[in-house]
Every structure is written in C-alpha cells, then in structure tokens.
Amino acid sequence: MVEHVLLDWTLWVTSPVPIQIALLNFLEQLVSVHWYRNHNLTVLRQINLVQHLLVTLQRGDVEVPVLEKLVAVLGVVLEDGFLASELENVIRFVIMSFDPPEMKPHHQIMREPMGKHVIVRNLLLEMLVDLQVNQKKCLNSGIELFLLNY
C-alpha cells in the first residue's frame, strides 16, 4: 500500500501543495521519530524509498516547495546509516542532471537556463554538503570512493 499509494506521485501531484507537503511531513516523521524508526526505515528501504523520491524529483510538474521538502526527506533517510547504494543513486542523479558539454568557443559559453532540474540539482548538492559537514567521517569515505571509481 505504501508504495502504490503514498509514494505514487501521479496520485498526489493533482492535490494542493499543502496536502503534498503534509504527506511528505508524514513520511519524514516515519523516518525521524525514534519509536519504530528502524522498522519504518527498513520497510521503506525495502520498497526503494530513495528511488521513489528521485523519480518524483525528476517530474516537471512538482512545485518548488514540494521539491524542497522531498530533498529534506531524502536527507533524513540518507543520514541514517549511509547506505552506499542510496548515496550512489543520489550522486548519479546529480551527475546526470548536468547537460552534456558542447564544444563552443570561449566567448560563447552560456549559462545553463534556470529550470526545475537546476533547482533540484542545487538542492541535492546543498543537502549532500550538509550531510558531509554533519557526518564528515562516514560520508567522506563513501563519496571519495564513488568519485574515485567514476
């Protein structure tokens, strides 16, 4: 039920933004409140919560306040346990959000247009930096290993 109802954003995107944020607040509470936290994280990880959140971040019809809350929930999940596969998925997502470079003369370098994908990428980068600052020892080794292998 959680996967097919709560995490199916095609159902929620038509509802008002406050309802969407309330749903994300509920998910955040599931993974951050100490009672049953480990159980909830285990269940949500079994249904690939991080992947569902990343898929939702790719949608073009999600409002910016909801995107911000999605990234906050993602940060709470990543902060618990630092699973390499989840962190790798987020880093790959960020890398893939960059447009491939084109060969242009130096005087024609243009700035990337500001769209929701740029906002999402910036939010994710900020969240990853915050995680690194908060959990430097645990996260440093995971990011460095991933980047060395990339």
Residues 124 and 90: beta-carbon distance below 8 Å:
yes
Q: Could you give the CA distance from residue 136 to residue 45 in angstroms, rounded to a whole number? A: 23
68-92 pLDDT per residue, tens: 999 999 999 988 776 888 988 999 9
50-70 pLDDT per residue, tens: 999 999 999 889 999 999 999
